[in-house]
């Protein structure tokens, strides 16, 4: 959705996707989303093995919520 918008919207005669700052923001966002998925996956595995601690759950909750809200 975001990529389509950046390709369609033009500024100074060029699509917004052509500007490096927007490319960098997209790459940063993709990296964080992938990291959030991996953290969630890892916590699920720890929970299944009954090895997840409350500290791990709290840390993940804070980080995931913070990261998610940054993109809204």
SS3 category, 26: helix
Q: Where are the domains of the chain?
A: 20-70
Per residue in 37-72, pLDDT (tens digit) is 999 999 999 999 999 999 999 988 888 888 767 666
Instruction: Look up residue 19 and give its DSSP letter.
Output: S
Residue-wise pLDDT for 16-43, tens only, equals: 888 888 888 888 888 888 988 999 999 9
Q: What pLDDT is stored for residue 47 in this prediction?
A: 95
> Which two tokens mark 17?
């996707």
> How far apart (Å, rounded) are the C-alpha atoms in residues 9 and 7?
6
Residue 12's contacts (CB-CB under 8 Å, 6 or more residues apart) are none
DSSP 8-state assignment for residue 72: -
Query: What confidence score (pLDDT) does residue 29 get?
Result: 84
Check residue 22 and give its pLDDT.
81
């Amino acid at each position: 959705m975001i990529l389509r918008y950046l390709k369609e919207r033009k500024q100074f005669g060029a699509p917004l996707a052509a500007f490096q700052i927007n490319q960098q923001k997209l790459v940063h966002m993709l990296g964080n989303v992938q990291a959030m998925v991996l953290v969630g996956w890892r916590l699920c595995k720890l929970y299944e093995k009954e090895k997840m601690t409350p500290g791990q759950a709290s840390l993940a909750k804070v980080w995931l919520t913070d990261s998610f809200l940054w993109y809204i």
